[in-house]
Amino acid sequence: MRRIRKVKILATIGPASSSEDMLKKLFEAGADVFRINMSHTDHELMHTLVGRIRAVEKAVGRPIGILADLQGPKLRVGKFASGKEALTLGQTFTLDDSPEPGNSARVYLPHPEILRSVEAGHRLLIDDGKLELKAVKSDGNAIVCTVVAGTSISDKKGVSLPDTDLPVGALTEKDRRDLDAVLATGVDWVALSFVQRPEDLAEARKIARGRALIMAKIEKPQAVARLAEIIELSDALMVARGDLGVEMPLEAVPGIQKQITRAARRAGKPVVIATQMLESMITAPVPTRAEVSDVSIAVFEGADAVMLSAESAAGAYPVEAVAMMNRIASKVETDPTYAGIINAQRSEPEATGADAISLAAREIAETLKLSAIISYTASGTTGLRAARERPQV
């Protein structure tokens, strides 16, 4: 089956959508790529899911992409004697290297790399930013902080460090095991979480050896600061707005999304917009008007793909969420203003043969009103260059 829609839809699969029958329904509703979240998937289940997706692919007679999303480093505090502690604004609270259960004054932080790296003035965001601490001093064994916002902390909550460049790679030991496993199954894409520097991508590429394409998830300020270098070493980018919105001011995220989208397009690299796109459809059969606008804006900006997370993985309306995203994207692409907006964002081609040919192919196809541009390519580069031109065919 052929789809006229150009922007792709990524659907995360989970408890609500992992059967072969449901996968087929999601595909028929508009899903082009299925995302397997390795944070919640063991190797046995991953093999099963890949097999089911390939079975659907064979049944429908159309390629379906598979993206394996690696967990990345998860930084968490230890446990508390009471499970949860109330804090007050302005009080002192310490994170240290003692494995003893925590209390209202301190908690164990089982990450020596954080204890060694945080400096006075750095922020520590706990539980997706619900608690904000500011470091007063650190001696490598303990970080003494002041409570700036929030009033409670509980067991095993995540820690985000927007001001600290940690000396850790994006690949953990679990990620390396998962990467070997997903590559053996023949997935098409591997997404790398919490990328901070180009070296993170270089390590993943070395392991992958061309067996899958590497997608860099942009969700840390350090990655935004080194965006050009990261783009150069990646095959695609994902704007992971969830963690990005924790580590950076929420009001800055839309501008960063636009910046990343345009930078990726200039480089001819696909870009995926992700997180909370149709969040209300986890529990409701229709999205909010703001969510519809959010998806539409991503398509108008020239995103290559938009992604569903919990909406399709664990929501009550997974098929409806995919179908809604399909309708929104298709409507935008047929809007009379769409072509003009996309053309206005087009960057100048680089002085290479592939770029010159891609530009000429687009102009010829649009002038003669041709139906398609066919790229003969060995590595895929020519196809990506042609796609960067966003031909209206």
Inter-CA distances, 232 with 86, 228, 264, 269, Å: 46, 6, 9, 9
Residue 264 lies in a domain: yes
Residues 211 and 272 in one domain: yes
Q: Are 334 and 325 in contact (CB under 8 A)?
A: no
Residues 215 and 263 in one domain: yes
pLDDT of residue 304: 96
**CATH code at position 122:** 2.40.33.10
Residue 2 lies in a domain: no
Residue 79 lies in a domain: no
Going by their DSSP bridges, the two strands 213-218 and 189-192 should be labelled as parallel
What's the average pLDDT block by block, 10 residues per block, for the chain (393 residues)?
Answer: 88 97 98 97 97 98 97 93 96 97 97 95 94 96 97 94 88 96 98 94 94 96 96 97 92 96 92 97 98 98 97 98 98 95 78 78 86 84 81 82
Residue 228 lies in a domain: yes
What residues are paired with 8 via a beta bridge? 305
Residue 319 lies in a domain: yes
Q: Which of 217, 362, 385, 388 is catalytic?
A: 217
Question: Does pTM top 0.75 for this prediction?
Answer: yes
Q: Are 9 and 325 in contact (CB under 8 A)?
A: yes
Q: Assess whether 346 carries a catalytic annotation.
A: no
| Whole-number Å distance between alpha carbons of 211 and 62 | 21
Q: Are 305 and 7 in contact (CB under 8 A)?
A: yes
| Whole-number Å distance between alpha carbons of 345 and 388 | 11
Residues 307 and 182 in one domain: yes
Quick one: which H or E segment has residue 66? strand 65-69
Structure tokens that stand for 328 in this block: 């929104």
Q: Assess whether 76 carries a catalytic annotation.
A: yes
Residue 122 lies in a domain: yes
Q: Assess whether 275 carries a catalytic annotation.
A: yes
| Whole-number Å distance between alpha carbons of 159 and 126 | 5
pLDDT of residue 169: 84
Write out pLDDT tens, residues 254-302: 999 999 999 999 898 999 999 999 999 999 999 999 999 999 999 999 9
Q: Are 238 and 69 in contact (CB under 8 A)?
A: no
Residue 41 lies in a domain: yes
Of the candidates 331, 349, 351, which has an alpha carbon nearest to the alpha carbon of residue 390? 349
Q: Are 315 and 363 in contact (CB under 8 A)?
A: no
Residue 47 lies in a domain: yes
Q: Structural domain tally of the chain?
A: 3
Q: Which of 275, 362, 382, 388 is catalytic?
A: 275
Q: Are 134 and 140 in contact (CB under 8 A)?
A: no
Q: Which of 35, 123, 205, 362 is catalytic?
A: 35
The separation between CA 220 and the C-alpha centre of its own chain, rounded to angstroms, equals 11
The separation between CA 237 and the C-alpha centre of its own chain, rounded to angstroms, equals 8
pLDDT of residue 349: 65
- Backbone phi and psi for residue 9, each to the nearest 5 degrees, phi listed first: -115, 125
pLDDT of residue 353: 73
Residue ending a domain, choose from 111, 136, 160? 160
Write out pLDDT tens, residues 25-78: 999 999 999 999 999 999 999 999 999 999 999 999 999 999 999 999 989 999
Structure tokens that stand for 16 in this block: 């609500």
| Whole-number Å distance between alpha carbons of 166 and 209 | 26
Q: Which of 74, 76, 331, 390 is catalytic?
A: 76
| Whole-number Å distance between alpha carbons of 359 and 366 | 11
Would the CA dihedral through 300, 301, 305, 306 be positive or negative? negative
**87: Cβ contacts below 8 Å, ≥ 6 apart:** 93, 104, 131, 147, 150, 151, 152, 153
